[in-house]
Chains A and B, each alone.
Chain A
Amino acid sequence: MITDHLLSIILFAPFIGAALLFLVGNHRPDIIKGITIFFGGVSLLGAVTLLFLFDHTSSTFQFIERETWSSELGISFYIGVDGIGAPMVLASALLMFAGIFVSWHIKDRLREFYINLLVLGSATMGVYMSLDLFFLFFFYELSVIPMYLFIAIWGRHTKGYLDMKGNPKRDSVDFIFNFNQSSKEYAAMKLTLYISAGAVAALLGILLVYVHSGQHTFDLLEIQKNGVLSSGMKELCFLLIFLGFAPIAAIWPFHSWSPVGYAAAPAAASMMHAGVLKKLGHFAMIRIAFTLFPEATAKWMPVIAVLCVLNILYGGLVAFLQKDIKFVVGYSSVAHMGYIFLGMASLNLISLSGAVFFLFADAMAMGLLFALAGHLYRETKTLDIPSLGGLAKKMPFVATLFVIGSAASFGLPGGMNFIGELMVFLGSFNKYPVQTVLAAMAITVTWAYYFRMIRSIFFGESEPSLAEVADSKGFVGRFPLILLAAMILFFGIFPSPFIQIIQSGVAPIVEKITATEIHDTTSDVAFGKNQ
């Protein structure tokens, strides 16, 4: 049966595509595009099928495949999805497929670009599927290098770099203490080092779990069931793994690589990055830290509830001050991570489901906005908001979708983000009322900077230098935008099937954590009685 290997097909189709691309020369762009679309399409089709076939009444992992990889080390290639993984696999496949069309016009080393995109896409999907700690980390690390190459090769220097005159413009990363903070090389290196630094901490945590669980295996479910860790070790591992994945999840104060990275990356890379790569952090925290260390999770989440408010406020206020479209969207993405962390910190069914729903919603909204930013950059050669204006007349289609994307992003009812935010707030209010009120009030800031950006890009006086710009045209230009916008609107209006799927994955995790909390309180009571 094909469904027995559905996940393998989704995961390996892009890898096979990437391998085939090596055989094609760069002088045949049509063949390159054909291969990429075919294998990206297979993956997307598989991901859609996955969601349709997903049984939301069962709370176990589904579509499981397992292959022993090294019995010496206790590693097996073990994949399967639950209600959290399945939607994120779909999100990755969607953004990868949309990214293929968004990058249609790239002339320089097109083949290498698509190889990177396919590898990045399957690496992220691999993380969302892995049930083996080793492979989870394997795919996670695998996703970092394509980002470096994307930014270093096809990226752009941001405005400050191009304005610089003479000597300071020299290539900066060669001299470690002479950073030139607007160059693409700086952005690429900063992103890689931040994520790798986090990754090694997570690896230490994973190795400690591997060694001390007493099972001699990296199998996540096995360790969950039979692992014997002392409570001190559990807490250490929790902190290592949580902090290890915190930089990629852009939690304050580890967020600073992310807006810089988005701003410098080419459109498709920004989409993947803001859409699904960043969410690997939250996903890995839920998948590893929450399920393996429920006690430590319950203990440390109040701290996260404070940090997330800083994310929301700081991200929002900085976004308000930015003048570059990608920086505005990037910092708004940092702020959105705060909502997700708030949902995660509250640790109940509604808020955690809301957080996971928000992961998907934000992926779609960010994907759409960065795709549009890519189009604007190609047409106008700038993303500097003050030097744009009156573009709604020239590009009505892009303007419309930009408004849809922004509206979704600032949480207008009808878009997916609204549902996610609502669920997070509903679930968190009892536990963290102050944080929830602050977070809800911060939405006004989001409205402010998005409206201001829309006004100055698309309305007002038209710049004479922008007379030649064109709207996105044809199937290739409009398809990815319509695809993402349709997802936002459809699931914004009919969220319930989606929420059912997500809740089937979230419920067992929440149950486990609540169980430990209740256990703690009862033991306290008993202790009190004894006294």
Chain B
Amino acid sequence: MNIDLIAPELWMTLLSSLVLLFDFTCPKISKKSLAYFSIFGMALIILQLICMAVAGVNDTAFNTMFVLDPLAIFFKIFILFSTILVFLASLEYVDKLSHFQGEYYYLLLFSALGMMFMVSANDFLSLFITLEFSTFGFYILVAYLRDDVKSNEAGIKFFILGVLTAAIIAYGISLIYGDTGTILFSKIAMIEHKMSIGLILGLLFVFIGIGFKIGAVPFHAWIPDVYEGAPLPVTAYLSIVPKAATLCLFLRIAFATLSDLKQEWVWLIATVSIFSMTYGNITAIAQKNMKRLLAYSGIAQIGTILIGMAAGTKMGADAVLFYLMTYLFANLGAFVVVIIYANATQKDDIDDLSGLNRRSPLMAFAMLLFLLSLAGVPPLAGFIAKVYVFAAAVQQGLILLVTVGLINVVISFYYYLIVVKKIYSVEPIDATPIALSLPMRLVLYVGIAGVIWLGVWPKPFIDFSVTATKVFAGLD
């Protein structure tokens, strides 16, 4: 067995344990230094992963339960990079927490570790374990503001629905195992007659679980409340990273394991996609709170990503990966602006953002770019991603799906531009400038650089995702 394959996870385990250890044993140590230490550690792990990617590692371990292929490496780098950005964005926020500052960082690392395992999961058992492993940390993090009613409410909602989903997935897996006698993706892929009732029912249950984790309609109900109640940096993290990691699993199951059932799952994904986009966008119009707006916009964005999934080709997978990168920069950036604003003023309604341009031109400009990127306006990243996804779907003749997607792009313009209008056109009630701390400024700059770079010169990133999806090269 090849233990080197799980080296990044081992380092990550060590890193999170060290953070917890230092936090308990050295109470004098500043919590910020814990965060910087973790960032440093994660940067080193990213380096290691890049080396692995260059060396072309592609192997399985633990009796093929665990796989490390370019796709897994892509997602691991994605997870660690996002975690670093969220750590930077959390520094100021955590500083204001009255308790458990160190554990906050530990729990984030712990969840990231779970997701790193998740993207390498290669059978249904590790799928279940890693999904729960990563969600475990979030149950606590969502309810972290223990004196805040909304946070507690969010925690309970998230927990109950999360556990229910876990039960559904477990039931689905038991059906799959009962019907086929195996839980390995690779063995299920080789079964010739997949249309047996047990397997199909089991897969549908697993699909429900995945739908819940990525927040697609009709499994989206927890999203707005949890986003609103959870601590802001946690919301930012939840809105991107778990979704990306779950999508990786979804890609593995749908594209690699069930590729011969494509005719059947295409309409399923397409339906979910249409509902997610339409529901997310139309509901977002009515929102008055920035977090809820981003929550519904996130539901719609997942719908758009699912268009790429529905294409069911390698190009579709490339598009999904590229879309996730653009989504990371734009969505995280938008949340960071809200975090800074909420830190300074304790408010996060859309109306409160009025006149942001007068209070902090940098934040206003950054928010403009992030929202326009989410809307899909050139020369920003979101535009390329949307064209990529749509092109992949048109190639498979999914004209109806693409038409709905395009109409939704126009709808989304409306609510993103309303926020832009508030920021730029309305005069502020209180015009005191907002100060930005260095880490926050750094995250904003990274976000701005990301949305512009991916929009103007996406070639390296497209190449990156094209290499990562080589596993799906066999798909037509």
A binds B: yes
Q: Chain A residues in contact with chain B, CB under 8 A?
A: 69-70, 72-73, 109, 134, 138-139, 141-142, 144-145, 148-149, 152-153, 171, 173-174, 176, 184-185, 188-189, 192-193, 196-197, 200-201, 203-204, 207-208, 210-211
Measured between beta carbons, the chain A residues less than 8 angstroms from B403 are: 204
When A145-B377, A201-B406 are in contact, do A207 and B390 touch as well, CB less than 8 Å? Answer: yes
Interface segment, one of B69-77, B263-271, B341-349, B415-423: B415-423
Cα–Cα distance between A75 and B285 once the two chains are bound (Å): 34
A193 touches B424 (CB 8 A): no
Kindly list the 3 A-B residue pairs having the minimum CB-CB distance in the complex, ordered from nearest. A200-B406, A152-B425, A207-B394
- A-B contacts counted at CB < 8 A amount to 85
Neighbouring B residues of A142 by C-beta, 8 Å: 377-379
Q: Smallest CB–CB gap between B225 and chain A, Å?
A: 23
A145 closest partner in B (C-beta): B377
Whether the pair B418, A173 counts as a contact (CB closer than 8 A) is: yes
Q: Could you tell me the distance in whole angstroms from the C-beta of A322 to the nearest C-beta in chain B?
A: 26
A residues near B206, Cβ cutoff 8 Å: none
B470 close to A (CB within 8 Å): no
CB distance from A138 to the nearest CB of B (A): 5
A482 to B194, CA, bound (A): 77
Closest residue of chain B to A204 (Cβ to Cβ) is: B406
Contact A70 B458 (CB under 8 A): yes
B458 touches A204 (CB 8 A): no
B413 within 8 A of A: yes
Closest A residue to B409 by beta carbon equals A200
| B462 & A72 in contact (Cβ 8 Å cutoff) | yes
Q: A207–B424 contact, CB under 8 A? A: no
Min distance, Cβ B373 to any Cβ of chain A, angstroms: 11
Contacts of A73 in B (CB 8 A): 388, 391, 462
Residues of B within 8 A of A192 (CB): 413, 417
Judged by a CB distance under 8 angstroms, whether B426 is at the interface is: yes
Question: CB-nearest residue of chain A relative to B391?
Answer: A207
Q: Please, which residues of chain B bring their CB within 8 A of the CB of A193?
A: 410, 413-414
Contacts of A197 in B (CB 8 A): 410
Interface of chain B: mostly helix, strand, loop or mixed: helix
Q: Is B402 an interface residue (CB 8 A)?
A: yes
Within 8 A of A (CB), among B259-287: 285
With A72-B462, A173-B421, A196-B410 already in contact, the answer to whether A134 and B387 are too (CB < 8 A) is yes
In the complex, residue of chain B having the shortest beta-carbon distance to the beta carbon of A25: B361
Encoded as 1 (CB less than 8 Å from any A CB) or 0, chain B from 432 to 476 comes to 000000000000000000000000001100110010000000000
Find the A residue at minimum CB distance from B463: A72
When C-beta atoms are compared, the residue in chain A nearest to B395 turns out to be: A211
Chain B's closest residue to A142 (CB) is: B378
Q: Are A138 and B318 in contact (CB under 8 A)?
A: no
Interface-central residue, B394, B458, B462, by most chain A CB under 10 Å: B394
Shortest distance between the CB of A215 and any CB in chain B (Å): 13
CB distance from A136 to the nearest CB of B (A): 11
B385-412: CB near A (< 8 Å → 1, else 0) gives: 0011011001100010011001101100
Assess the B387–A70 pair: CB atoms within 8 A: no
Question: For this complex, into which size category does the number of interface residues on chain B fall?
Answer: 35 or more
B91 touches A (CB below 8 Å): no
Would A72 and B466 be within 8 Å (CB), given that A141-B383, A142-B378, A188-B421 are in contact? Answer: yes
User: Bound complex: CA of A435 vs CA of B421, how far in Å?
Assistant: 43
Instruction: Contact check, B426 vs A70: say whether CB atoms are below 8 A apart.
Output: no
Q: Is the CB of B379 within 8 A of A138?
A: yes
Contact A210 B413 (CB under 8 A): no
B-chain residues with CB within 8 Å of residue A144 when the two chains form the complex: 377
Contact of A189 with B414 in the complex, beta carbons under 8 Å: yes
Roughly how many angstroms separate A152 CA and B379 CA in the complex, as a whole number? 21
Q: Which of A148, A200, A211 contacts B410 (CB 8 A)?
A: A200
Nearest residue, chain A, Cβ from B407: A200
Chain A positions within 8 Å of B426 at CB level = 171
Whether the pair B410, A152 counts as a contact (CB closer than 8 A) is no
Residues on the A chain within 8 Å of B353, using CB? none
Seed contacts A73-B391, A176-B285, A207-B391; 20 additional CB < 8 Å A-B pairs? A70-B458, A70-B459, A72-B462, A141-B378, A142-B377, A142-B378, A142-B379, A144-B377, A148-B417, A152-B420, A152-B424, A152-B425, A153-B425, A185-B421, A189-B421, A192-B417, A193-B410, A196-B413, A200-B410, A210-B391
C-alpha spacing A73/B389, complex, angstroms: 11
Asked whether B390 lies within 8 Å of A203 as measured between CB atoms, the reply is yes
Q: Does B113 contact A (CB under 8 A)?
A: no
**In whole angstroms, how far apart are the Cα atoms of A140 and B41 in the complex?**
44
Contact A174 B418 (CB under 8 A): yes
**Are A203 and B420 closer than 8 Å at their CB atoms?**
no
Given known contacts A152-B425, A207-B391, is B462 in contact with A70 (CB within 8 Å)? yes
Closest-by-CB residue of B relative to A26 is B361
Report the Cα distance A72→B463, complex, angstroms: 8
C-alpha spacing A152/B424, complex, angstroms: 8
Across-interface contacts of A207 in B (CB, < 8 A): 387, 390-391, 394, 402
**B131 close to chain A: CB less than 8 A:** no
Cβ distance A25 to chain B, nearest Cβ, rounded Å: 10
Once bound together, how far apart are the Cα atoms of A189 and B411, in whole Å? 11
Residues of B within 8 A of A152 (CB): 420-421, 424-425
Whether B372 is near chain A, meaning CB under 8 Å from some CB there, is yes
B312 to chain A, nearest CB (A): 15
- The answer to whether A189 touches B391, judged by C-beta atoms less than 8 angstroms apart, is no
Q: In whole angstroms, what is the CA distance A189 to B403 when docked?
A: 22
Give the most central of B285, B378, B458: most A CB within 10 Å. B378
Could you name 16 residue pairs across A and B whose Cβ atoms are closer than 8 Å? A73-B388, A109-B357, A138-B378, A141-B378, A152-B421, A153-B425, A176-B285, A184-B425, A189-B417, A200-B410, A203-B387, A204-B390, A204-B394, A204-B403, A207-B394, A210-B394
Closest to A115 in B: B365
| A145: chain B residues within 8 A (beta carbon) | 372, 377
The distance from the CB of A387 to the nearest CB of chain B, in whole angstroms, is 27
Contacts of A138 in B (CB 8 A): 378-379, 383
Supposing A138-B378, A148-B417, A196-B413 touch, asked if A153 and B383 sit within 8 A by C-beta, the answer is: no
Which of A109, A189, A203 is most buried by chain B, counting CB atoms within 10 A of its CB? A203
A200 to B412, CA, bound (A): 12
Please judge, given known A-B contacts A197-B410, A211-B395, whether A185 and B387 are in contact too, CB under 8 Å.
no
- How far apart are B166's CB and chain A's nearest CB, in angstroms? 38
* A73-B377 Cα distance, complex, nearest whole Å: 19
Closest to A141 in B: B378
CB of B29, distance to nearest CB on chain A (Å): 40
Give 1 or 0 for each of B75-95: 1 = CB within 8 Å of chain A CB: 000000000000000000000
> Separation in Å of the B157 CB from the closest CB of chain A?
28
Q: Which residue of A lies closest to B357 (CB)?
A: A109
Complex contacts, A171 vs chain B, CB 8 Å: 426
The residue from B372, B394, B409 contacting A208, defined by CB atoms under 8 A apart: B394
Which one of B394, B424, B459 contacts A211 once the chains associate, using CB atoms below 8 Å? B394
Closest to A171 in B: B426
If the complex has contacts A72-B462, A189-B414, A193-B413, are A204 and B421 also in contact, measured as CB distance less than 8 A? no
Minimum C-beta distance from A265 to chain B (A): 13
Task: Report the bound CA distance from A119 to B418 in whole Å.
Answer: 21
Give the residues from 369 to 385 in chain B that come closer than 8 angstroms, CB to CB, to chain A: 372, 377-379, 383
In the assembly, what is the distance between CA of A9 and CA of B458, in Å? 22
The closest CB in chain A to the CB of B368 belongs to A149
Q: Which residue of B lies closest to A111 (CB)?
A: B361
Please report the C-alpha to C-alpha distance between residue A70 and residue B421 in the assembled complex, in whole angstroms. Answer: 34
